[in-house]
Amino acid sequence: MKIGVVGAGYVGLVAGTCLSEMGNSVIIADLNEEVIGTLLGGEVHYYEPGLKPLLQSNIQKGRLSFTTDTAMMVRESKVIFLAVGTPQREDGSANLSYLESASVDVACAMNGPKTIIIKSTVPVGTNKRIGELIAGHTSHEVRIVSNPEFLKEGAAVDDFMGPDRVIVGVRDEASEQTMRSIYDPFMRTSDRLMVMDPESAEMTKYASNAMLACRISFMNEMAKICAEVGADVADVRKGVGSDNRIGSKFLFPGLGYGGSCFPKDVRALAHLAEGVGVEPRILRAVDDVNNLQRYLFLPRVYNEFGENLTGRSFAVWGLAFKPRTDDVREAPALDVIRELVKRGAEVKAYDPEAGSSAGAALKLLGVTEGVEIVAEPYLATEGAEALFICTEWTEFRSPDYDALRDSMSRRIIFDGRNLYEPESIKAEGFTYHCVGRPTVTPD
């Protein structure tokens, strides 16, 4: 099938590349000339495991191409995925201006009947809205389908190639058959395509992310209670997660969630609810708990060092909002660093993939001095009085304690992802602060 994709970002590039892997002829269009130039050279402009070799293979086989000419892509394609960003506005609502602009560009270039598939995360009612917008700019027959993405950064290729479900919102049987023909190659062992109306498909995306965010915030609140009553949240998590009605996923306490999806989608859904007269009490609470969680360690830092941190030196391991990505959007580490620097501290930070993106993001947050991004984890800890762990990269799970002891001026670890067993860290000679578990100090 000849498929076009508008948007070469996290969603569009993964979707287009994986669709080409199944034998489709795919053209990905994006207005960013620098991004398209990078892709034409066989390189990827962000880090996503497994994506680069798949992209290079399909370019070589002639099934995947890139362009800044949206009109050409439209003329050459039978179906077109819209995968542009829907960033958050100041009031929490989704900004649909990029999607609307892309829709108009597609409509004006249509040279025959097309199926338009909305892959972007959008509020309920967008399918109808985009359909009316496109109809106002073309006389050709067009079908509008909602097909929200459920890709986890760091595992996006695997998620697309082996989806646990594909949600499709359609208004006619022809659109359903088109979607089945696209996704059948990904479902050779079982049919996991779920067909519903577009409004339900749009709502499913928001509700899914809100539920996962709710579980994280709930467990973080439980962790705070555990810390006050002497319980161990690690044991509580195991006990709760063993109930098959609940399950164990997304119950790990930490410094809160970040990224491009959970924060934005929770707020957008809350804004949508308020717009139809429903008070989103749970959604607002989920967001509030998450916003506070990233500052969990600061009272302990002030207790240890005082509120004036001038002259203090700290190390931070992990800058991305999660491992296996270089995405730092709403990453807790950035807020931790900003608060430390604001109080006078010097910070050295390390991340396996997100160093450059974190540096740029910190500047946007106004952090232009007091922080240095380094290329090795133990360069970050040189002279540090404490180490903050903000992202659970696998390379942090078994640190070289001799190197830490030799490089740090004091032996204090603030572990925001509960990577270690407290007693083991105590035996290594470190004071260990974690989330929802007792703080331990060497004898």
CA distances from 389 to 114, 120, 122, 201, 289 (A): 49, 32, 34, 37, 20
- H helix or E strand, kind and range, residue 80: strand 79-82
| Domain ranges, ordered by start, for the chain | 2-196, 205-292, 294-433
pLDDT given for residue 223 in this prediction? 97
Between CA 167 and CA 170, with CA 168 as vertex, the angle to 5 degrees is 155
Q: Which of 237, 249, 407, 224 is nearest to 314 (CA)?
A: 407
DSSP state of 88: B
CA distances from 244 to 212, 238, 239, 249 (A): 16, 12, 11, 11
Any idea which fold 294-433 has?
Rossmann fold (3.40.50)
Cα 301 to Cα 38: distance, rounded to the nearest angstrom: 43
Q: How many CA atoms does the CB half-sphere of 330 hold within 13 Å?
A: 17
Structure tokens at 426: 């105590």
Residues 199-223: tens digit of each pLDDT: 999 999 999 999 999 999 999 999 9
Active site residue 18: no
Can you give the pTM of this predicted structure? Answer: 0.94
Tell me the residue ranges of DSSP E strands in 203-338: 313-317
Domain 2-196 of CATH type 2.60.40.10: no
Residue type, 120: S
pLDDT given for residue 443 in this prediction? 84
Query: 228 in helix, strand or coil?
Result: helix
Structure tokens at 334: 């950035």
pLDDT given for residue 16 in this prediction? 98
pLDDT averaged per 10 residues in sequence order, the chain, 443 residues? 97 98 98 97 97 98 98 98 95 96 97 97 97 97 97 96 96 97 92 96 98 98 96 97 96 96 96 97 98 97 96 98 96 98 98 96 95 98 98 97 97 98 96 96 91
- H helix or E strand, kind and range, residue 114: strand 114-118
CA 398 to chain CA centroid, Å, is: 25
Task: Judge whether 2-196 and 294-433 match in fold.
Answer: yes
205-292: CATH homologous superfamily? Answer: N-(1-d-carboxylethyl)-l-norvaline Dehydrogenase; domain 2 (1.10.1040.10)
Q: From the candidates 18, 214, 226, 261, which is the catalytic residue?
A: 261
- 368-373: long-range pairs with CB below 8 Å, 24+: 369/341, 370/341, 370/344, 370/345, 370/346, 371/337, 371/341, 371/346, 371/347, 372/346, 372/347, 372/348, 373/319, 373/348, 373/349
With b meaning 16 or more CB within 10 Å and e meaning fewer, what string describes 307-320? eebeebbbbbbbbb
CA distances from 110 to 16, 75, 80, 366 (A): 20, 6, 11, 44
